[in-house]
Amino acid sequence: MEVSAAIYTGFLVLVGAGRLIELRISRRNQQRLLERGAKRVADPNFRWMVALHTGILISAALEVWLLRRPLIPPLAASMAVVFVLANAVRWWVIATLAGHWNVEVVSSTQLGVISSGPYRWVRHPNYAAVFVEMIALPLIHTAWITALVGGIAHLFVLRARLRIEDGALLADPAYRAAMGTKPRFFPEFLGGYKSGSKLESKQGAAKAGPYTQKTEEPNRGS
């Protein structure tokens, strides 16, 4: 158990280091967007997203060591595959958005709307991928308490984040026309719910000013 726990802890450290690299990329991209006239939209929930993701990494390691969670090969293998697939979706999002990707909500009306890549089918592919990733990661070494509590907390944090982000996005007519009827997280062929454009557009316009966002949150993140 000690050997697998040590390897798993090292893996969590690598994941955390990857997140720090992503934050550096995000800050660089955001600075360039701001220089081009974009504006950051205030989001008091961002710090809770960062705290949640950090907490899941730390909690998973502590649960494995303190509660002596075993490594169950079939579970570890299946969750590792899910984790890799979720990361593939996240990096697909990053590649699609290129210099427009960042982890905060940014108003970039003049930059247009991206509807290629995973955005052909859903509005927030990154959020779906991160949610799945944060469930799978603890379960690789059977840290089920972290997966359960972290998943529930993630739902609350994501709900608050989307209230701000969707309000900004759906207030823009161009975004509503391109994306307003697409499911939030999962494509229709996977059971995703197709939004009602009129109702959602009115709700979005009532929540925020005239913002268009071309960026993605992590976290993370759409």
The domain total for the chain is 1
CB of 56 within 8 A of CB of 133?
no
Q: Show the domain range for 95.
A: 2-207
214 lies in some domain = no
Phi, psi of 89 (to 5 degrees): -65, -45
pLDDT digits (tens, 9 = 90+) for 130-187: 999 999 999 999 999 999 999 999 999 999 998 888 887 887 788 888 888 888 887 8
26 lies in some domain = yes
143 lies in some domain = yes
pTM of the complete model: 0.82
218 lies in some domain = no
Environment class of 215 (CB within 10 Å of its CB; exposed 0-12, middle 13-18, buried 19+): buried
97 lies in some domain = yes
15 lies in some domain = yes
Conformation bin of residue 209: beta by default, left when phi > 0, alpha when psi is -120 to 50: beta
pLDDT digits (tens, 9 = 90+) for 9-68: 999 999 999 999 999 999 998 988 888 877 788 888 899 999 999 999 999 999 999 999
212 lies in some domain = no
217 lies in some domain = no
Q: Are strands 106-107 and 39-40 parallel, antiparallel or unpaired?
A: antiparallel
For residues 154 and 38, give the distance between their C-alpha atoms in angstroms, rounded to a whole number: 28
CA distances from 175 to 89, 109, 111, 166, 196 (A): 22, 9, 11, 10, 14
CB neighbourhood size of 31 (10 A): 11
For residues 134 and 91, give the distance between their C-alpha atoms in angstroms, rounded to a whole number: 15
Looking up residue 90, the CATH number of its domain turns out to be 1.20.120.1630
